[in-house]
Amino acid sequence: MKTLLLTNEYPPNIYGGAGIHVQYLARELAKLVPTEVRCFGEQWSDGSPIVRGAGWDRSGYTAPERLHSVLGALQRCLEFNTRAIDADIVHLHTWYSHFGGILAKFNHGIPMVLTVHSLEPLRPWKREQLGGGYDFTLWLEKTAIEMADAVVAVSRETRADILRLFDLPEERVHVIYNGIDPDEYRPTRNSDRLHSYGVDPDRPYVLFVGRITRQKGIVHLVNAIRHLRPGTQVVLCAGAPDTPEIAAEMREAVDRARAAHSGPVVWIDQMLDTETKIIVYSGAAVFCCPSIYEPFGIINLEAMACEIPVVGSAVGGLKEVILDGETGLLVPLDQQSESPFEPVDPEKFAADLAAALNRVLDDPETARRMGSAGRQRVLDHFSWAEIARETVELYEKVLS
17 pLDDT band, cuts 50/70/90, is: confident
Contacts of 156 (CB under 8 A, 6+ apart): 175, 317, 320
Q: How many CB atoms lie within 10 A of CB 55?
A: 11
333 pLDDT band, cuts 50/70/90, is: confident
Question: Going along 8-129, which residue ranges are E strands?
Answer: 35-40, 44-45, 50-54, 89-93, 112-116
pLDDT at res. 339? 47
pLDDT at res. 329? 98
**Buried-state track 201-227, b at ≥16 Cβ within 10 A, e below 16:** beebbbbbbbbbbbbbbbbbbbbbbbb
Average pLDDT, the chain: 95
Rounded distance, CA 175 to CA 164, Å?
15
User: How does pLDDT run across 43-78, given as a tens digit for each residue?
Assistant: 999 999 999 999 999 999 999 999 999 999 999 999
Rounded distance, CA 280 to CA 267, Å?
12
User: How does pLDDT run across 268-318, given as a tens digit for each residue?
Assistant: 998 789 999 999 999 999 999 999 989 998 999 999 999 999 999 999 899
**CATH pick for 3-179+383-399 out of 3.20.20.70, 3.40.50.2300, 3.40.50.2000, 3.40.50.300:** 3.40.50.2000
Contacts of 133 (CB under 8 A, 6+ apart): 66, 67, 69, 70
pLDDT at res. 101? 98
pLDDT at res. 15? 82
215 pLDDT band, cuts 50/70/90, is: confident
Contacts of 248 (CB under 8 A, 6+ apart): none
Rounded distance, CA 21 to CA 185, Å?
14
132 pLDDT band, cuts 50/70/90, is: very high
The H or E element containing residue 272 is none
pLDDT at res. 128? 86
User: How does pLDDT run across 70-128, given as a tens digit for each residue?
Assistant: 999 999 999 999 999 999 999 999 999 999 999 999 999 999 999 999 999 998 888 98
Rounded distance, CA 314 to CA 159, Å?
17
pLDDT at res. 340? 52
Given a cut of 70, whether residue 337 has pLDDT beyond it is no
The H or E element containing residue 7 is strand 3-7
Same fold, 3-179+383-399 and 191-381: yes
pLDDT at res. 267? 97
350 pLDDT band, cuts 50/70/90, is: very high
Q: Which residue has the higher pLDDT, 396 or 335?
A: 396
**Contact (CB, 8 A) for 385 and 176:** no
Given a cut of 70, whether residue 341 has pLDDT beyond it is no
CATH T-level topology, domain 191-381: Rossmann fold (3.40.50)
Q: What residue ranges do the domains of the chain occupy?
A: 3-179+383-399, 191-381
243 pLDDT band, cuts 50/70/90, is: confident
pLDDT (average), residues 363-374: 98
pTM of the model: 0.86
Identify the CA nearest to 279 among candidates 162, 201, 385, 226. 201
CA dist 24 → 2, 27, 90, 181 (Å): 17, 5, 17, 8
94: region left, alpha or beta (phi > 0 left; psi from -120 to 50 alpha): left
